[in-house]
Amino acid sequence: MMIGFFLVPQLAQAEPTKENATKLVAADGKKPADKPVQDNRGLTFKNNYIAVKAAPDAKKVTVPFYFENKTNRTIKIARYDSACSCLSAKVKGGKLTYQPGEKGEMKVDFALGSFSGLVEKTVLLWTTDDVEQRPSSVLTVALTIPVLFEVTPKTMFWEQNGSKTPKSFKLKVNNDQPIRIVEHSSTNANFPYQLKTIRDGWEYELVVTPTDVTVPAFGMIRLKTDASISRYQRQMAFVCVRKAVATPPAKQP
């Protein structure tokens, strides 16, 4: 009598998929662990750009930036810096290491000095995961300081070898009290000027006529006022004969 042997082919194990994941359970009853995904983000700030308005007599403004570690890893702040000495930053409590889900606060102090109008400055923040050339966070403070004494434009230009046409700066007071010009002077005799009073304490005109436009030149007209706030006591109007731009020769047909 012959006894037959039948070889039963071994079934190939299915690849884990979303559909069959519940079927692929190890002998010990544990589901295969998912491979963790590396999250390369830095700290997440509630706002990276904050616009604020300052009072005319303010000397410093403090701006809070709130952040959170929304990654799945520990993040450590390596350093933070600003290109402007007018900004200084500090992390609340001096804390530099943040676990997933932890929150923190960075306060930025803006020393206003003689600034007026719209001024934007930034703070750069590096974590220990960042390369030197690419900080993971760039924080911007956009500060608006009232312009109580307005000079328009800030700079007046004449072209080299062009016309010596008189040009005028408009000086306007945007205040509830008059601000008068009490002194004025020029740093360059090539730019003689005439100061005209339109409305005393409120509106003036500065007419400048260069004596020579054959060479590039630069100068300032300094204005001293009787403003009660020091920021508005010294103003400047800039004048410039700028170098002529060479015109490329016309192409021959």
Which contacts (CB < 8 Å, 24+ apart) does range 87-95 have? Answer: 87/111, 87/121, 87/123, 87/141, 89/123, 89/139
What predicted TM-score, i.e. pTM, was given to this entire model? 0.71
Contact 193, 208 (CB under 8 A): yes
Please tell me the distance from the alpha carbon of residue 195 to that of residue 66, in angstroms, as a whole number.
49
Write the DSSP string, 107-146. Answer: EEEEE-TT--EEEEEEEEEEETTSBTTB-SEEEEEEEEE-
Contact 80, 124 (CB under 8 A): yes
Summarize the confidence of residues 14-21 as an average pLDDT. Answer: 41
Q: What is the CATH number of domain 149-242?
A: 2.60.40.3450
Tokens of 87: 């900004």
Q: What is the CATH number of domain 44-145?
A: 2.60.40.10
Quick: pLDDT tens for 190-242.
999 999 999 999 999 999 999 999 999 999 999 999 999 999 999 999 999 99
Please tell me the distance from the alpha carbon of residue 149 to that of residue 155, in angstroms, as a whole number.
15
Indicate the pLDDT class of residue 170, thresholds 50, 70 and 90.
Answer: very high
Q: Quick one: what percent of the chain has pLDDT higher than 70? A: 81
Tokens of 229: 């706030």
Shared fold status for 44-145 and 149-242: yes
C-beta neighbour count of 159 within 10 angstroms: 12
HSE-up of 189 (CA within 13 Å, CB side)?
0
Please tell me the distance from the alpha carbon of residue 202 to that of residue 194, in angstroms, as a whole number.
17
Q: Which amino acid is at 100?
A: P
Domain ranges of the chain: 44-145, 149-242
Contact 169, 205 (CB under 8 A): yes
Please tell me the distance from the alpha carbon of residue 67 to that of residue 44, in angstroms, as a whole number.
5
pLDDT value, residue 83: 87
pLDDT value, residue 248: 67
Summarize the confidence of residues 51-69 as an average pLDDT. Answer: 96
C-beta neighbour count of 13 within 10 angstroms: 7
